[in-house]
Each structure stands twice: as C-alpha cells, then as structure tokens.
C-alpha cells in the first residue's frame, strides 16, 4: 500500500542517499558541462543535440548503453514512501558515465507528499468546481511544488470513476462522470506539465475499489467489465489524458481487468494505449503491481518505481530478476530495449536531459500565494446543497453562533498515498471565529454529549454542526452513513447523525457543514435549515468555509456524484457479485448505468442529484439555440446565462444529451457533454457557447469495435443539474446523409 509508514525511507541513511544523489548529479553536471563547453547540462554526446527528435535521441543514448545499464533503468533504486521531507516517493539512480541524471518521483495528487506542502482540497472538491481553469491552476500549483522539491514526475492525477461511494479513495476521484473527469484531468495535466514535471495519470484501469471485510481487495480483484462500459465509462479519462492532455506517463493498476492484471494487460497497455490512442510516454507500475517480468514487459510495462515489494509473490524488475529472466530466455533484449526506449524518449521530450536537475529546495515555494490558491479552490469546490435562507450568515446581525462537532477542530483529509502534511492549516472553528469578528459570540461544543450539544445550540442565533467522515486508501467504507468506519476523536465518540438531529431540534437555524470524501447519507436533511458540503477542503479549510458561510464568496460547487437517499438505491447494493465481488471477481453488471445514469434509468429519487448545487444568487438560462454543425455529427449550442439575483454569484450551466437506444443497447436518459462555470455580477449576463463534437453523440459499438453515431433522435437539455433541466432541443442523425438535422420529425 502506498502509505504504510513501515516502508519508510526517511532514515538518516535514506536522507544521506538523497544528499549523495544530489552531490553526484551536481558533480556529473559539472563534469559534463566542463567537457561540453557551452553545450548545456547534457554535454556534447550525440544524444545531447536538442535539434534531434526525442525518439532519435533516445535511440542514440540506448545504443551507447551496456546491457547492464539498460536493465538498471527498468526499476527504481530507493523508495521513501512515508513522505518525509528530503525524501521522494520513488527514486532511480542515473548513469553518471552517460550523463543520465537521477530520476525523482513524488506522490500527489492533492499536493506533494514530501514533508510539508500546500494541502489542496480533494480531487472530489476540484471536480465540484466544474471549472477547467481551476483544474489547470491546481495542477500547476502541485507541479510547481513538486519541481521545487526536486521531483521530475508526480503520481497524479487519479482519474478512476467513482463506481460506489463506499470506495476508500472516493475523495481522490473526480466523481462518477467520465466527461467531467476527462475535462478536468486534461487541464490538471496541462497545468502540471507546464511546470516541466511529468504527470502520471492513474490507475490504469478500472481501479474502483479497495475491498472490504467481505473481500474484493484492490490487489487481486478482477473487474469484469464489458467493452462498451469500459470505453464509455472507465477509459475516457485516460484517453483524454493521452490524446488531449498529452500526459507523459501512465500508472498501471493492481487490479485485474477481465482476468488480467493492469500491469500485464496487453489489451490495455499496448493495443489501446499505444496503438489506438498513440501514447508515446512511460508506463509505470503502481506500488507492488508488477507481477511477472515476461508478461509485464511484453504487455507494455516500462518501469517499476518500487521493486521492493510484491503483494502476491510476483516478480519485480530488479536487475537480478530481469537478468535471470533474460538468461532463462523468458524475455529478450528487445523487450528490455522497448521499455528503456519509452522511458528515455519521455525524459528527452520533457527536457530532463537539457536542464539542470530540479533541486529540492522548498524555501523557493511561494507558500503565501499557494495557500491563497488552496483557499480559493476550496471555496469553488464547496457545494451548497440546501438553504432555507439562513445562509449566508450576516456577521452584523448575528449575535451568537454555536459551532458544534469535534470535526471542526481537526484537519480532515483522506488517508493513504495522497495524505498531505499541510504547511498551513486553519480549522473550521478557527476560520469561523476569525471571520465572525468580535461582535459575534462564537461558542464551541465537541458534540460527544448529545444533551450538552443541544443545550449549546439552544440559546444561539444559529448553529453550525460540523461533521466529517473517515476514508482511506486501502479499505472501503463498510456502509454509507457518515459514522461508518469513523474513529473516536481525542478519545471522544461522536454520533454524527444523532448530533445533527438533536441540534436541529434545539435550534431552527441549524446549518450542517459536511466534510466528506464523497456522497454520504443525509437522513436528517429535512430537519435542518441548510446543508453545505465542503469535501476534504485541504489546509485552508477554515478560511475557505467561513468565507462561504458568511457570503464573502459564492459557493461555486456542483455535485460530481449523486447523493443517494438510501444505500439500497446504489446499483451495487445487496449484490455481492457486483460489489465487492465473489471469489475475487466483481461483475460490473450495471454496465454503463453508473451514478446518475443508474438513478435516471431506474427513476430513483436521490437525496441530491448529480450536478446539483445552489448559489446565493439566482440565475436564468435563456434563449437556448442548438444548431447542427455542418461538418458531420456535431452541434453548436448557445444560451444566455443571466444573474437575476442581487449578489455576485457562480452559475454552472450543464448540457446533457439523451441518445437513441435500442432494446439491446440501453442508453442512460441523459449524459453530461458540456459545462461551464460562469461568475457573474448581479444584473450581468453572458452568452455561453458549447461545441459538441461527434463524440458527444457517439456510443461504443461492439460490432464495429469503434465509436458510432446511432440513427435517430437526440435530445439536448441544458440546466442547473441533471434533474433541473430546461425544455431542450432535438436533433436527428441521418446516417444516409451523414449529418445532424434540427428536430426529429413527428
Ligand atoms: C497507490 C498509488 C501511489 C503509490 C505510491 C500505491 O499504493 O495506489 O496511488 O502513487 O502507492 O505511494
């Protein structure tokens, strides 16, 4: 597992290895520079000619390498997985004789897991912003800190789809929709790579559960998934990362996909990734995910950062094991060279040889500016789920405010390899106290004694109950209630649902502030005045959430995942063969009906639907125009978004397409195909345009083994959530003329 402190490399030895490594790099660079005159850090070897293509340079360098040197590049040499300062999650020694620098990697995605770092709100929060610009600046911030901590590659972003909200890594996902995840992942990657570090999209593929006491461990479960579901739900974000994000690397996953492990799956790693999508980068294995040297290399695995562990007795790409496999004829030199070539080509492409090595010097990080960006991101990701008018709080009129719940005092984040140690942390309680000012009497009660908490709430003008869940990589939640899997806080056990009910009964102005990984059950929602979802808000939790509560900023978030009314509504509920699986096989029998697609198809009423989120202002969406795009199966859509309220606010128009289905090809009633986050002053309006390419109207055809546009009628709807949509417009696809037409006839 990517987070156990037992796999520590933070010992003085590890740190001195790191220092030696830096010294070696510096000495090598100096030597190379000395021999190379003014030719730059790479030197004057033939592969240092930056006018040559990365492929050519990789070939030249490869041919200068001994067989041992090539084998040496297949695996990392040091791992420091506890995340201490001065260490790296993964590290590979370079080849000083050839001017190959050391190669350092770190965990992400919500910050750099290497000593203290800016703790960004969770990826789930990022997804809630529905804001591609934010994704870009978020990725750039993490990339910048990774670089200034001496890393060349970041294991981020995570783009696996939230199939069940029980997933232990729900917070690390961008929710249940492939289009939203794809769009934000592309910008995250572009932002990160604009800093010169290599992004690493993970975990390829269909890695949607950690497992629970009933089984389904991520290390061994096989996701049994049909081609159409794979292509329409689980692969699009990886495809977009490659084709549009130009991602430099991919992490293959532990789990099996249709019986074959992610890191030895030729269909995924070679056929789809390289041959179909044109991936030119590096495929690396998750921690302990390499299984067999021969099948792995031949399937398309290039590099194993952590060859020190294996969870089921498999092989690693260590020099000794690879050499033995070569001698035994299980692999040949070509298998090794292909993998090394992929690595070198990627490194050349990212300028790794042409710059001085990034230096681990966190003093150069602009902490103040980064903390501000973390705060803004958390504000944009916060979702106002319901509000009877109690919010925003007005500090001039509020006499007293009771803050209830020990979660208000602690840093709430997800466990595992994306657990970031924040440079700065403001608690929710601290943030509220600071923002409320002297005029408001802010009291606090931890909430472990229900009577006492109700008493604290009773006299106050309003009460904010802060409740968080517990979620971690390595294990799924046992159930969806907010207390499922929770640990006591400072020895106190909090019964969160009961706490909300007690406080709500004592104070009509009760506001629930959730800090959860993903959707949870909200059985008390009809009893409270407002519900706010802050997710795992990162280091700026308190300041961000206080600013939202007091209306300094509009909550910008919309739900990237459905909040079910009951756990029984989930497609996987009560069906162990589907989740967590039986005999290590999880049958993805719901097919493409994941998340809101399932709720819509089955006519289920969720607690809060996908795309839902309120503003403090009001918006009108008017004048929807849908025109066929004459260049094939596409359409141009425009609408006017007007702020008709009296405050600044954020509108998020969302466009959904209903595709024609058949008895055999079930289609979800609607699928998100475009969105935009629009900030508007009161009275202001903006024309929002969307272009829908042919992919927005396509389904995966098993018969053709490719994307196809079905004959028939398409409905395009724009609205404020998947369940709040305007009248919409229709288009028909005529395969005979190869074009979209307005309307669908009678
Ligand atoms: C996780 C990865 C992580 C790696 C290194 C694994 O257990 O699944 O996401 O990057 O550990 O910490």
pLDDT in tens, 46-61: 999 999 999 999 999 9
Ligand 1 center–CA 57 separation, angstroms: 31
Name the residue with higher pLDDT: 569 or 32.
Answer: 569
Range of weakest confidence among 30-34, 257-261, 696-700: 30-34
Q: Which of 543, 572, 602 is the last residue of a domain?
A: 602
Quick one: which of 588, 605, 703 has its CA closest to 160? 588
Closest residue to atom 6 of ligand 1, CA basis: 2
Q: Which of 575, 602, 629 is the last residue of a domain?
A: 602
Ligand 1 center–CA 471 separation, angstroms: 16
Ligand 1 center–CA 204 separation, angstroms: 12
In this structure, the answer to whether residues 560 and 688 fall within a common structural domain is no
Quick one: which of 520, 570, 534, 581 has its CA closest to 163? 570
Structural domains of the chain, count: 3
Determine if ligand 1 sits within 6 Å of the CB of residue 81: yes
| pLDDT exceeds cutoff 60 at 165 | yes
Given the CA of residue 172, which atom of ligand 1 is nearest to it? 9
In this structure, the answer to whether residues 224 and 254 fall within a common structural domain is yes
| pLDDT exceeds cutoff 60 at 26 | no
Mutate which of 76, 142, 155 for ligand 1? The one with the most ligand atoms within 8 Å of its CB, which is 155
Closest residue to atom 3 of ligand 1, CA basis: 2
CATH of the domain at 519: 3.40.50.1700
| pLDDT exceeds cutoff 60 at 37 | no
Closest residue to atom 4 of ligand 1, CA basis: 2
Q: Does a structural domain hold residue 713?
A: yes
Q: Does a structural domain hold residue 609?
A: no
Q: Does a structural domain hold residue 656?
A: yes
CA-CA distance, 287 to 6, in Å (whole number)?
14
In this structure, the answer to whether residues 562 and 675 fall within a common structural domain is no
Q: How many of the other CB atoms lie within 10 Å of CB of 326?
A: 18
| pLDDT exceeds cutoff 50 at 5 | no
Determine if ligand 1 sits within 6 Å of the CB of residue 288: no
Q: In this predicted model, what pLDDT tens digit does every residue of 726-735 receive, in sequence order?
A: 989 999 998 8
Q: Does a structural domain hold residue 2?
A: no
Ligand 1 center–CA 428 separation, angstroms: 29
Quickly state the pLDDT bin for 76 (edges 50, 70, 90).
Answer: very high
In this structure, the answer to whether residues 338 and 466 fall within a common structural domain is no
Instruction: Please give the pLDDT value at position 39.
Output: 54
Determine if ligand 1 sits within 6 Å of the CB of residue 89: yes
Q: Are 346 and 303 in contact (CB under 8 A)?
A: no
Determine if ligand 1 sits within 6 Å of the CB of residue 287: yes
Tell me the mean pLDDT in the region 633-645: 96
| pLDDT exceeds cutoff 80 at 286 | yes
3-state secondary structure of 167: coil
In this structure, the answer to whether residues 434 and 504 fall within a common structural domain is yes
| pLDDT exceeds cutoff 50 at 62 | yes
Given the CA of residue 81, which atom of ligand 1 is nearest to it? 12
Span between the terminal Cα atoms of the chain, in Å:
58
- Report the DSSP beta bridge partners of residue 638: 625, 689
Range of weakest confidence among 6-15, 184-193, 242-251, 680-689: 6-15
In this structure, the answer to whether residues 156 and 215 fall within a common structural domain is yes
**CA quadruple 294, 295, 298, 301: dihedral sign:** negative
Closest residue to atom 1 of ligand 1, CA basis: 2
Q: In this predicted model, what pLDDT tens digit does every residue of 107-145 receive, in sequence order?
A: 999 999 999 999 999 999 999 999 999 999 999 999 999
- Exposure on the CB side of residue 586, measured as CA atoms within 13 A: 31
CATH of the domain at 191: 3.20.20.300
Q: Which of 325, 340, 364 is the last residue of a domain?
A: 364
Residue with tokens 């008017």: 622
In this structure, the answer to whether residues 580 and 655 fall within a common structural domain is no
Instruction: Please give the pLDDT value at position 33.
Output: 37
Given the CA of residue 254, which atom of ligand 1 is nearest to it? 8
Ligand 1 center–CA 50 separation, angstroms: 34
Q: Does a structural domain hold residue 10?
A: no
Ligand 1 center–CA 216 separation, angstroms: 18
The string of DSSP codes covering 607-656 is SB-TT--B-SS-EEEEEEEEEEETTTTEEEEEEEEEE-SSS-EEE--EEE
In this structure, the answer to whether residues 381 and 344 fall within a common structural domain is no
To which H or E segment does residue 236 belong?
helix 236-243
Given the CA of residue 90, which atom of ligand 1 is nearest to it? 5
Instruction: Please give the pLDDT value at position 80.
Output: 87
Closest residue to atom 11 of ligand 1, CA basis: 2
| pLDDT exceeds cutoff 60 at 10 | no
| pLDDT exceeds cutoff 90 at 315 | yes
Given the CA of residue 203, which atom of ligand 1 is nearest to it? 9
| pLDDT exceeds cutoff 70 at 222 | yes
Tell me the mean pLDDT in the region 90-104: 97
CATH of the domain at 634: 2.60.40.10
Mutate which of 286, 307, 474 for ligand 1? The one with the most ligand atoms within 8 Å of its CB, which is 286
| pLDDT exceeds cutoff 50 at 24 | no
Quick one: which of 329, 300, 302, 328 has its CA closest to 317? 302
Quickly state the pLDDT bin for 314 (edges 50, 70, 90).
Answer: confident
3-state secondary structure of 263: helix
Domain ranges, residue 709: 619-742
Instruction: Please give the pLDDT value at position 1.
Output: 36
Instruction: Please give the pLDDT value at position 436.
Output: 97
Instruction: Please give the pLDDT value at position 182.
Output: 98
In this structure, the answer to whether residues 314 and 414 fall within a common structural domain is no
Catalytic annotation on 44?
no
Instruction: Please give the pLDDT value at position 376.
Output: 98
| pLDDT exceeds cutoff 50 at 209 | yes
| pLDDT exceeds cutoff 60 at 6 | no
Closest residue to atom 5 of ligand 1, CA basis: 2
Instruction: Please give the pLDDT value at position 585.
Output: 98
| pLDDT exceeds cutoff 70 at 23 | no
Instruction: Please give the pLDDT value at position 14.
Output: 37
Ligand 1 center–CA 133 separation, angstroms: 27
Q: What is the mean pLDDT of the chain?
A: 94
Ligand 1 center–CA 189 separation, angstroms: 18
| pLDDT exceeds cutoff 50 at 150 | yes
| pLDDT exceeds cutoff 60 at 19 | no
**CA quadruple 35, 36, 37, 40: dihedral sign:** negative
Q: Are 239 and 183 in contact (CB under 8 A)?
A: no
In this structure, the answer to whether residues 632 and 683 fall within a common structural domain is yes
Give the Cα-Cα-Cα angle 530, 535, 540 (nearest 5 degrees): 100
Given the CA of residue 158, which atom of ligand 1 is nearest to it? 9
- Report the DSSP beta bridge partners of residue 515: 468
Determine if ligand 1 sits within 6 Å of the CB of residue 1: yes
Q: Does a structural domain hold residue 526?
A: yes
Q: In this predicted model, what pLDDT tens digit does every residue of 651-703 receive, in sequence order?
A: 999 999 999 998 899 999 999 999 999 999 999 999 999 999 999 999 999 99
Name the residue with higher pLDDT: 629 or 245.
Answer: 245
In this structure, the answer to whether residues 154 and 233 fall within a common structural domain is yes
In this structure, the answer to whether residues 546 and 659 fall within a common structural domain is no
Instruction: Please give the pLDDT value at position 736.
Output: 83
Of 77, 107, 152, 286, the active-site residue reads: 286
Mutate which of 8, 88, 107 for ligand 1? The one with the most ligand atoms within 8 Å of its CB, which is 107
Ligand 1 center–CA 724 separation, angstroms: 38
Q: In this predicted model, what pLDDT tens digit does every residue of 520-546 receive, in sequence order?
A: 999 999 999 999 999 999 999 999 999
Determine if ligand 1 sits within 6 Å of the CB of residue 418: no
Determine if ligand 1 sits within 6 Å of the CB of residue 141: no
Determine if ligand 1 sits within 6 Å of the CB of residue 286: yes
Q: Does a structural domain hold residue 6?
A: no
**CA quadruple 251, 252, 255, 258: dihedral sign:** positive
Determine if ligand 1 sits within 6 Å of the CB of residue 202: yes
Closest residue to atom 12 of ligand 1, CA basis: 2
Which ranges constitute the DSSP H helices of 460-534? 496-506
Ligand 1 center–CA 417 separation, angstroms: 5
Quickly state the pLDDT bin for 746 (edges 50, 70, 90).
Answer: low
Instruction: Please give the pLDDT value at position 710.
Output: 92
Residue percentage of the chain with pLDDT more than 70? 95
Q: Does a structural domain hold residue 8?
A: no
Instruction: Please give the pLDDT value at position 632.
Output: 74
């Amino acid at each position: 597992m990517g987070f156990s402190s037992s796999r520590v490399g933070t010992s003085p030895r590890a740190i001195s290895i790191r220092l030696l490594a830096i010294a070696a790099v510096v000495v090598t660079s100096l030597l190379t520079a000395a021999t190379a005159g003014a030719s730059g850090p790479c030197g004057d070897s033939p592969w240092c000619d930056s006018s040559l293509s990365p492929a050519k340079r990789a070939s030249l360098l490869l041919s200068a390498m001994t067989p041992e040197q090539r084998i040496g590049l297949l695996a990392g040499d040091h791992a420091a997985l506890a995340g201490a300062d001065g260490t790296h999650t993964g590290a590979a020694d370079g080849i000083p004789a050839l001017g190959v620098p050391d190669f350092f990697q770190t965990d992400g995605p919500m910050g750099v897991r290497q000593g203290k770092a800016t703790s960004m709100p969770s990826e789930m929060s990022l997804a809630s912003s529905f804001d591609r610009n934010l994704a870009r600046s978020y990725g750039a911030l993490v990339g910048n800190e990774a670089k200034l901590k001496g890393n060349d590659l970041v294991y981020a972003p995570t783009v696996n789809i939230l199939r069940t909200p029980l997933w232990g890594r729900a917070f690390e996902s961008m929710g249940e929709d492939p289009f939203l995840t794809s769009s934000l992942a592309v910008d995250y990657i572009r932002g990160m790579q604009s800093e010169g570090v290599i992004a690493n999209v993970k975990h390829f593929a269909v890695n949607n559960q950690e497992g629970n006491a009933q089984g389904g461990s991520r290390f061994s479960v096989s996701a049994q998934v049909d081609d159409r579901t794979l292509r329409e739900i689980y692969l699009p974000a990886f495809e977009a990362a490659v084709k549009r994000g130009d991602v430099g690397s991919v992490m293959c996953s532990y789990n099996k996909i249709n019986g074959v492990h992610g890191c030895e799956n030729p269909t995924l790693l070679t056929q789809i990734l390289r041959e179909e999508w044109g991936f030119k980068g590096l495929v690396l294995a998750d921690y302990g995910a390499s299984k067999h040297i021969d099948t792995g290399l031949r399937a398309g695995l290039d590099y194993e950062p952590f060859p020190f562990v294996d969870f089921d007795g498999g092989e690693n790409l260590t020099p000794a094991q690879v050499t033995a496999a070569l001698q035994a004829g299980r692999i040949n030199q070509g298998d090794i060279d292909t993998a090394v070539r992929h690595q070198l080509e990627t490194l050349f492409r990212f300028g790794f040889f042409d710059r001085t090595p990034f230096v681990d010097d966190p003093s150069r990080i602009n902490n103040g500016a980064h903390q501000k960006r973390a705060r803004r991101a958390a504000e944009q990701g916060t979702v106002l789920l319901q509000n009877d008018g109690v919010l925003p709080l007005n500090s001039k009129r509020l006499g007293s405010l009771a803050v209830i719940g020990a979660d208000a005092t602690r840093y709430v984040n997800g466990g595992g390899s994306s657990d970031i140690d924040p440079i700065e942390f403001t608690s929710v309680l601290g943030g509220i106290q600071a923002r409320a000012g002297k005029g408001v009497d802010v009291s606090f009660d931890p909430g472990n004694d229900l009577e006492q908490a109700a008493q604290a709430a009773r006299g106050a003008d309003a009460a904010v109950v802060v409740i968080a869940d517990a979620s971690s990589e390595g294990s799924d939640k046992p159930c969806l209630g907010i207390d499922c899997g929770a640990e006591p806080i400072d020895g106190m056990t909090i019964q969160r649902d009961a706490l909300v009910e007690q406080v709500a009964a004592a104070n009509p102005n009760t506001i629930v502030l959730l800090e959860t990984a993903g959707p949870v059950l909200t059985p008390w929602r009809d009893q409270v005045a407002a519900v706010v979802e802050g997710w795992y808000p990162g280091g700026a939790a308190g300041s961000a959430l206080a600013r939202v509560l007091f209306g300094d900023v509009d909550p910008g978030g919309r739900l990237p995942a459905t909040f079910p009314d009951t756990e029984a509504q989930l497609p996987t509920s009560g069906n162990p063969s589907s989740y967590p699986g039986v005999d290590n096989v999880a049958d993805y029998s719901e097919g493409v009906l994941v998340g809101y697609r399932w709720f819509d198809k089955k006519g289920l009423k969720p607690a809060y639907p996908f795309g839902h989120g309120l503003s403090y202002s009001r918006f009108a969406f008017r004048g929807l125009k849908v025109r066929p795009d004459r260049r094939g199966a596409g359409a141009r859509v425009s609408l006017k978004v007007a702020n008709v309220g009296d405050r600044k606010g954020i509108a998020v128009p969302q466009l959904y397409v209903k595709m024609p289905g058949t008895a055999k090809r079930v289609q979800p009633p609607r699928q998100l195909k475009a969105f935009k986050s629009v900030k508007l002053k009161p009275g202001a309006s903006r024309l929002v345009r969307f272009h829908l390419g042919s992919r927005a109207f396509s389904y995966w055809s098993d018969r053709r083994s490719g994307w196809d546009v079905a004959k028939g009628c398409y409905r395009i709807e724009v609205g404020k959530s998947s369940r709040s949509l305007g009248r919409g417009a229709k288009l028909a696809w005529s395969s005979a003329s190869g074009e979209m037409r307005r309307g669908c006839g009678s």
